[in-house]
Amino acid sequence: MKKTVIAPSILSADFSNLAEAVVSIDAAGAGWVHLDVMDGNFVPNLTFGPKMVADLRPYSSAIFDVHLMVSSPGALIAEFAAAGADYITFHAEAAVHSHRILGAIKDLGKKAGISIVPATPVGAIEPLLPFADLVLVMTVNPGFGGQRIIYQCFDKVRALARLRETGADYLISVDGGINPETAALARAAGADVLVAGSAFFSAADKTALVQQLRGNAE
């Protein structure tokens, strides 16, 4: 069985010391760092831009998983690619020409991800699935850490896992409200990548938390 990827989100870290946050993610054995970019327009919150990604890059050898919650993602992908992103994921709801943006991300030598909010059905991105390296299912309404999971979103994870059987090759990521209990449900539904913000940064033992999220505890 393939190993579940854990991607702690620095959204829940102390923004005055994000370098330490990414170092703590590497030290906990997570392997991916999830970076939430918010523009105050697509979502009602603001975080950071490509300079933050570039400045953090030397502190970590982990995969940088950039989640763009912005209204015009196409205009920003080159900057995030240059900053050191490995995966660049944007929202289907924010783009008309999603297929073009997926191609542009790949042309920059990066992995391309597409995300859907809880209100968007899988059918809205079905034509794009053969072109995606990652599909990010939001299990909360994006904008903030520490929200309660919307369990119904797991139906979409199951649907994406079924659709993948017909030949597409994308990772299924879930983001929002992930803790050891909901992680087990996400894995059972078919998720490959689990994003965790508040659960990771509130854990006293981050290494143990990563193991629990993977289902390796005990």
Binding region for ligand DX5 (CB under 6 A) = 9, 11-12, 34, 36, 67, 140, 142-143, 145-147, 175-178, 195-199
In terms of Cα–Cα distance, which of 201, 113, 138, 200 is closest to 214?
A: 200
Is 133 annotated as catalytic? no
In terms of Cα–Cα distance, which of 196, 171, 172 is closest to 28?
A: 196
Are the CB atoms for 84 and 90 separated by under 8 Å? Answer: no
171 binds, options Zn ion, ligand DX5, none, Cβ within 5 to 8 A by partner type = none
Segment interacting with Zn ion, rule: CB under 5 A, options 65-73, 90-98, 154-162, 163-171: 65-73
Is 55 annotated as catalytic? no
> Cβ 186 to Zn ion, closest distance in Å?
14
Q: Based on CB atoms, which residue is closest to ligand DX5, 70 or 125?
A: 70
Segment interacting with Zn ion, rule: CB under 5 A, options 22-30, 31-39, 83-91, 143-151: 31-39
- CA contacts within 13 A on the Cβ side of 113: 26
Q: How many CB atoms lie within 10 A of CB 103?
A: 13
Q: Based on CB atoms, which residue is closest to Zn ion, 36 or 192?
A: 36
Burial environment of residue 81 by CB neighbours within 10 A (0 to 12, 13 to 18, 19 or more)? buried
Q: Which residue is nearest to ligand DX5 (CB)?
A: 197
Residues recognised as catalytic = 36, 175
